[in-house]
Each structure stands twice: as C-alpha cells, then as structure tokens.
Structure 1
Amino acid sequence: MSRLKALRPEPGGRVPETAMVMAAGLGTRMRPLTATQPKPLIEIAGTTLMDHVLDHLRAAGVKRVVVNVHYLADAMEAHLQRVAGSLEVVVSDERARLMETGGGLAQALPLIGDQPFVCVNSDNYWVDGPVDAIKLLASHWDDTIMDALLLMVPLARAHHHGGKGDFHLGPDGRIVSRRRPGRMAPMVWTGIQILHPRLIADWPDGPFSTNLFWTRAIEAGRAYGQVHQGLWFDVGTPGAIGRTEAMLLDG
C-alpha cells in the first residue's frame, strides 16, 4: 500500500467536458513504424493509440476533444473524422510549425476555453483499475488549490519505461520536486492530467515544453499528483508493442 496520503475526493467529482489530445509529435523513437503513419495511428492489441485514448475519454464523459496535428496531419484528420462518434472533435492545426507540448497547449487555448480540461498524450496506453482513471483524476480535482493534477504511476509499475522517474510527491499528494539529475524519482507521469487554463499564460514565442507551466505550478504549490490504480505501459518504441501486447494477453 502506498504511504502517500490520498487526496480527499469530492464525491461524484465531474469530469471536464473538454479534453486536449496531444497528437502532433514526429514519433522519431517509433521509427520505422512512423515512416508512413503518425504515431497515434499505430495499433496496440488491435486498436490504434488514438482510438484507445478517445474510447477512454468518451467512456469518462468527455464531450469535446481538441487534437493538435502536424506530422502526416491529413491522415490524422481523416482518421479523426471516421472515429469521432459522439465526440465533437476540433483540430488545432500545427502544420506550419510544430509547437511542442507547451506551445501546442498555448496555440489551442482559444479552442479549449476557460474551464479545467483533461489533457492526454496520444502515445499512451493504460488499463483502468477498480475505477476509471480519468474519473478518478476528476474526483480529486480541487479548483481552489490546484492548477495541475497529474496521473502518476510508481516507477516499479511503469512497464517498459526506461527512465528514472519524474516527480516526488508529498504526503498530501502535492508535487514537491522533480527528479534531480543523476538521481531516481519514485513517480512516473502517465501522460494524463487535468489543467486549469489560468496556468497557460505569459508563454514565450515559438515552440516550448509543458515543463514551463509545470514549474510555475510546482513553485506555487498548486501542482498535485494522483496515483493510477491500474496498468500503464510506455509504448514509445517498436519493441515495446509486442511486450505490451503479451502482458495484456497474460492478464
């Protein structure tokens, strides 16, 4: 059992109606599979990574999804039109210039609106635990003390992840620090988070990382983490696909 004190959930905490799906990356670590298709359209266990994310968002109650596109954008847009289903899908076009994660959020902000939103990386594969992971995250969102709430998994359960961890959490779930160079950190970010648009402000010109916004939230004491109760897989390389599918088959 985790020694971290769980954040106090709000019973029936509402999932934000809007989500941002980050799908504009070049997928260089997934080559040669991304030579002819964008990374979010690679299949894991018979489902594209993008469909996997959209299915989870739809099941959690999200109604509207903003998706940024850059690499092989026409293919991404055509796929989104085919699979949107009940979701309203709006494209944030980065064809002219790839803006990276932070720049992508800043460019999409007029499409996102002024309310807290779910943000998910499209190269993400997870299995819900006893509770839907996005609903779990939303149930712990507290607008009075948070600007960012990141879903995390302990490093020991970050399957196929080659890193050394990302963050340290305090006993109340607050993110107290990042991993220091040359050190380990116990928690890995899953690529799933809830953000408040007020955090996305005063950004630099051109492409930049979401780290800028995270740093502000951490320094202000308004960045928190929630531990994922299910499975999570780092599927960033071709070799990780088969290993992930094997684990899923094994249950």
Structure 2
Amino acid sequence: MTADDDRIRWVELPGREPARVYVHGLGATSAPYFAEVATHPLLAGHRSLLIDLLGHGISDRPRGFDYSLESHADALAAALTSAGVGGAELIAHSMGGSVAIVLADRHPHLVSRLVLVDANLDPMPRTPGSGGSSGIAAYSEQEFLTDGWQEVRDRVGAHWWSTMRLTGREALHRSATQLVRGTVPTMRELLLGLEIPRTYLLPEADGPLPGADALTAAGVSVVPVPDCGHNIMLDNPQAFAHATATALADHGRP
C-alpha cells in the first residue's frame, strides 16, 4: 500500500529465501509473463512474488499518480517492505527492468541481485505511429485518452493488448512518457554504478547490445539468448530459465 492507500498486488509462490521478485514491462502483468519460468525446475523452490506495478494488472490504477520510474520504484519498495522482503533477487523485463534499476539505486537494502530482461537503459525519442512506449508517448495525455488508446490497441495486436487492456489509461500513457524520458542520471548510468551482481539478457538476434563493453567492464554480465524476441521468457522459456539460473547461482547453487 502506498501513502495514498493504493495497493500493489502480486501472485506469491512459497519457498526458501532469498525471495525472487518478478517485474513485468509496460502494459503487461507478471503472472502471465513469468509463471512458466518461475516454476521451471531450474528456478523453482524460492519464495517468488510475481508482482504487478501500480496501474497494471491486478494492482490499483490511481489516476493521480505520476507513474515516473522513481515513483514506480518507491511504490514497489513500499510493497516489498510490507511483504517482509529484503535482499531480493529481481528478475525484471523491459520497463520493469528500468524500475528495478531505480529501486536498487534508491532502496539498496531491498535488492541483492538484478537480472534485467531486455530492459530500457536509455531515454528514447517519441515516435508517432510506432509500437510500444515511444508511440504511446507521442500522444498528449488527452489525445491518448480520447482516441489514441484505440490506435495503440490496433497497432500492438491481440497478444500484448490482452494484458495492456488491464492497465489504467492514465497509467499506460504516463508510464510510457516517463520511460522514454528516462532518469537523471540515466538508467544505464545507475546500472553501471551498482555494486550488486547484475546480468542483462537480450535476444541474440538483436545483435550486440549498445554499450556492452562498458557494462561488461563495470561487472554486468551481458548474455545473448537464442531463438527469441523481446519477450524472452515466453519465446524461449528453457533458455531463459537456464540463463537466469546461471545469473542467480551462488557458488554453483541456484
């Protein structure tokens, strides 16, 4: 619950500590995206929270919230604290990865490891007519609430819309707008400065990750995953589970 009594909700799987927290991307919800991999034999057995960010999925959708990455991170921190979670291993996709980086920077006691799944690290241009956050952010909020959401629905297709339709419309637009704006310092710069174990998973087909050399030099493991697109955990769950288990291994024990 936030200071304004808005509730973040999650699906919880029992198991041993440290807890693992799975965080979805823009217009998504964690259970459909992560349930298969969270229960995979390589990853099962830990207490796992498949959590929905404010405005998304089964969480509340306050219309007065600004949905900045910092505010998302602080709301997530309040939820994890209320759940008795500390030193968690975060597995976070896309926008959720950006939120996880900010969470680790602002609330370091809550995060012990990061596995970022094709996460946004840099500000992006607003691109009218494109899919995803850059296209959503190209609308003014009023344009999006009036007609733009229908255009986005038709562009993103049935799969993404099946969870995006659960997102509050103000939440969707503001989250996208804040994501393309990014943070100061940028998410990439924050990631470089963290001292916890960090892994970045990306689709192998996308080619080299921009700035990978600097990330590697700072101790971030950059891991290409074959046979997948942006939704790595859905497209190739076996390879995702293997890469994530390796990233979370402690002296060889996942």
**TM-score higher than 0.5:** no
More strand by share: 1
Q: Give the TM-score of the pair, scaled to structure 2.
A: 0.27
TM-score (normalised: structure 1) = 0.27
